[in-house]
Amino acid sequence: MKKNKYPIVWSKKNFSIKIFCSIPNIATGILVKADKAHFVVDPGDGILRDLNKELKINDILNISDVFITHGHHDHVGGVWSLLTYLRVMNKETPLVVHYPKGCLEIVHIHNAFNRVYSGNITYDIILKEIDGDRQFNSKKVTIIPFPVVHKEYLSDKKTTRQVPALGYKFIYDNIKICYGGDTAYCDDLVKHAKNSDLAILEAGHDDDTPDDMHMTLSEAKSIGKSAKEYYLVHVPE
Ligand SMILES: [Zn+2]
């Protein structure tokens, strides 16, 4: 398969998504814009460089929400620098960080940040742990989180365990964008991708035999075809 050329940009009316990159084991970085609202999804390494290339400083300072699919380094590697940058640049509006219940990476990055900068943080950071699939709204966008199947190897390199992991569906002005995060083929993703205006699907498994970490190319494509449009991301380079 041809390598993705990043960034990938998609928009409909006032709703847009820009995938700066999604490279397995290296970094992910996604920006969602709904009219004047700006959300960051999975801020991996390089997110400050990409945001600064894309947005004026005031728009960066007004980012209201961060959505984390799971705690792997290629999805959260830029969280520390984003929090710190916003402090240094004097952000004043709150930042809500949504993350799956049990994602210790986010809890501990946040704890460390509070300890290091205690009393000297210019904005409120609100951690919103997501447990289940209840939908909620932010800035006129409806967000539907859904559980996905994403395992990782323990240190013996044989045993696997499920990591806290979510996909998100963003709905604005009746336009639906479904992002599965890292996931194996699973019913919740099938359900939410179907009839979406855009599905962003990982195809991180470069073998034809399905596993419970990532999707094969054919699995991802079969889900993609149920959406109006789709992009495959997180494809091994
Ligand atoms: Zn992962």
Percent of the chain with pLDDT over 70: 99
Residue 44 Cα to ligand 1 midpoint, Å, equals 11
Pair of tokens at residue 107: 């809890």
The residue ranges of DSSP E strands in the chain, in sequence order, are 8-12, 15-23, 27-34, 37-41, 65-67, 95-100, 125-130, 136-138, 141-147, 151-153, 160-162, 166-172, 175-179, 198-202, 230-233
What are the residues facing 230 on neighbouring strands? 199
What per-residue string of b and e applies to 31-61 under the rule 16 or more CB within 10 Å gives b?
bbbbeebbbbbbbbbbbbebbeebbeeeebb
pLDDT band at 4 (very low <50, low <70, confident <90, very high): confident
Residue 59 Cα to ligand 1 midpoint, Å, equals 29
Summarised one tens digit per residue, pLDDT across range 33-45 is 999 999 999 999 9
Q: How far apart are CA 80 and CA 172, in angstroms?
A: 29
Residue 58 Cα to ligand 1 midpoint, Å, equals 31
Residue 72 Cα to ligand 1 midpoint, Å, equals 5
Q: How far apart are CA 55 and CA 25, in angstroms?
A: 26
Matching CATH number, 8-233, of 3.60.15.10, 3.40.50.2000, 3.90.650.10, 3.50.50.60: 3.60.15.10
User: Which residue, 231, 187, 237, 173, is CA-closest to 35?
Assistant: 173
Over residues 162-180, the mean pLDDT reads 98
Q: What is the mean pLDDT of the chain?
A: 95
Residue 80 Cα to ligand 1 midpoint, Å, equals 18
Q: What pTM, to 2 d.p., does this model score?
A: 0.96
Percent of the chain with pLDDT over 90: 92
Residue 1 has pLDDT above 70, yes or no: no
Q: How high is the pLDDT of residue 3?
A: 60
Summarised one tens digit per residue, pLDDT across range 52-76 is 999 999 999 999 999 999 999 999 9
